[in-house]
Structure 1
Amino acid sequence: MTRVFPFLRPPDDVVTAGPWSRLTPDGSELLPDTLVDWDYSTTLSLHRPASVDGLRLRQLSGLTEDSEVDLSVQWYATSSLLRGLAWRTPLPADDGFDVPIDFQLPGDDLGGTLELITNIILRTPGPGRSRAAASRPGSVLWSDRQRVLLEGDNTLFPIATADFHDLPYPTGAGWYLHIDEDLDGAALGSILLLVNERHEVVMRAVEAAGSPTEADRRVLSALRADVLRMLVERALTDEDLEEENDYEVGSLGALLTKVVRNAFPAFSMEALRRERQSAPALFGSRLQETSQLLAGP
């Protein structure tokens, strides 16, 4: 269904916006629909070329040349539930104005699906505008969106390193997954994977995750399987977590429910709880299967 606006908007061709790209250690590449190599330590450096006919935009919007308009980019991340203004510049009343869009987004603010919204927004309407023109500052004259899945098919969490000697965790352990109690809290702020700096094998594998050796792959496989186990255990041992609860997108409750559904699509949560209680060995084997423990890269 076509949306009808209460004011004039220019045609899409007043803006020529190129594709989004991201800066990588090897240069620049087009931004794909899914960033399978992304994690929370990755800062996204994004770029997009754009050209705007500022004069024609104002004329076809019923605005005068004195009207002030901005080109801006806003972002929203579904896992963190955070949003913000990434970039903005004023648009002059020129026939053609080339403007490169460049900004960075810190990884610890992101997660899930990242939405990039490019807008042309009225900042100040000038005198003498058409009665059909936008009059309120903040009116959107032109917009487009792109969504990027940052986590692929895997659930990723913030990862930090720490010396377990200084923490209340076993000093010989390789990692510890912290999970908060509040099911309604944002998942991004509720889960933290701590890697023990004293565990050389695990540290080496995590640091080489972008290009792991065969030995690193085995360690990472064990790490992923154990994280899945802890998330599933957390979900099944929480009596307040029920499949029919309508948790807000991006919340811890929604994430745990999704993890269990994705891991065991043929089982209800209640059936899994019963098996875990009555046949823990079978349940453990089922977890190994779904996590693909040591099954390969």
Structure 2
Amino acid sequence: MSALVKARRTIRVNWDAAASDLRISPEHLKLEIGVLVGTGKGRLPRLTVQRQRLPLERFSPGVTVALEVNGSHLATVLDLHTELYIASVPDHGDLLSPSSEGAIVWDERTRVLLEGDGPRFPVMAVPFSEIFPRGTARRAPWHIHWTPSDWHRDFHGALQLFLNTERAEVVERMQQGDTLLMQAVLAEAVTQVCSALVLDPDAQDLADAAEDGSLLSQALYWLQLAFPRSTLAQMREIAVHRPGEFGASLLALSEIGVP
């Protein structure tokens, strides 16, 4: 028997502020809220499993949309997309006011990673003196194995974390779920992948051919979160000329709980 997944969105609108921004008088402003539940790996949901659309009233405290989804319909990601629409075209609007019914004036997307069909970050504990017989790498606490030429490989198996069993304290802290250690490991993985992409001279061509669920699409997703509204060329400038800022942005993104 599949579990029932419940989600709830409560939306409150400052009506006067919204009317002012949209250049529509408050008494003529008509809004609706729409909530869509999607699922499937990749940056965009592959399947819509539920959709609701409700009117918003000017003097109401807000509207709550409650959703229940059968867990058997979900895979990899729960995507909760909320949109605010123009419910009807106002008779007295400004030239810059929305002019069509259904025009989206605000939206927000929340993505929750679910337990999928395989580990997203396989982990193996091995003695580094065996895999790095020479050089200082054998004393490293961990090693993230991946290949930049595998951009189109499925993200689930594209990266692998090796822990050094000769650094017992690191393995123990990881097993205990040490938050700072996990953030450091995730930050290194994210930084390695994102740096390699933005510094690749063919980055834009690669991005144009990105496939959902691939290592490349995940890297682009991380970069968009860390540097919203920036182009790959602008991200490259930050990485080259302000590497500290580039790394700090990705470190913050790697905080446990950030998608």
What TM-score does the superposition give when structure 1 sets the normalisation length?
0.45
After superposition, the C-alpha distances for 1:170-193 in whole angstroms (9 at most, x for unaligned) are 122111111221222222232211
Question: What residue in structure 1 maps to residue 138 of structure 2?
Answer: 171
**Pairwise CA distance, 1:33:** 7.5
Preserved contact between residue 195 and residue 239 of structure 2 (Cα < 8 Å): no
Preserved contact between residue 190 and residue 219 of structure 2 (Cα < 8 Å): no
Question: What residue in structure 2 maps to residue 137 of structure 1?
Answer: none
Preserved contact between residue 241 and residue 253 of structure 1 (Cα < 8 Å): no
Over the aligned positions, Cα root-mean-square deviation in angstroms equals 3.7
Preserved contact between residue 207 and residue 216 of structure 2 (Cα < 8 Å): no
Q: Among residues 222, 227, 234, which one is paired with 2:184 in the alignment?
A: 222
State how far apart, in whole Å, the 2-side matches of 1:182 and 1:276 are.
22
4+ residue runs over 6 A deviation:
112-115
**Does structure 1 residue 161 correspond to structure 2 residue 125?**
yes
* Secondary structure of 1:233 counterpart: helix
**Does structure 1 residue 201 correspond to structure 2 residue 169?**
yes
Preserved contact between residue 120 and residue 156 of structure 2 (Cα < 8 Å): no
**Pairwise CA distance, 1:290:** 3.3
Q: Among residues 234, 254, 262, which one is paired with 2:225 in the alignment?
A: 262
Q: Among residues 250, 257, 274, which one is paired with 2:213 in the alignment?
A: 250
State how far apart, in whole Å, the 2-side matches of 1:175 and 1:113 are.
33
Q: How does 1:1-297 map to 2 (within 5 A)?
A: 19-20=1-2, 30=3, 32=5, 78=41, 146-149=73-76, 152=112, 156-168=120-132, 170-180=137-147, 181-209=149-177, 216-242=178-204, 244-292=207-255
After superposition, the C-alpha distances for 1:52-91 in whole angstroms (9 at most, x for unaligned) are xxxxxxxxxxxxxxxxxxxxxxxxx847xxxxxxxxxxxx
**Pairwise CA distance, 1:263:** 2.5
After superposition, the C-alpha distances for 1:132-164 in whole angstroms (9 at most, x for unaligned) are xxxxxxxxxxxx951143694599422222211
Gap runs ≥5 in structure 1: 1-18, 21-29, 35-76, 80-111, 116-143, 210-215
Gap runs ≥5 in structure 2: 8-39, 48-70, 79-111
State how far apart, in whole Å, the 2-side matches of 1:267 and 1:153 are.
25
State how far apart, in whole Å, the 1-side matches of 2:195 and 2:180 are.
22
What TM-score does the superposition give when structure 2 sets the normalisation length?
0.51
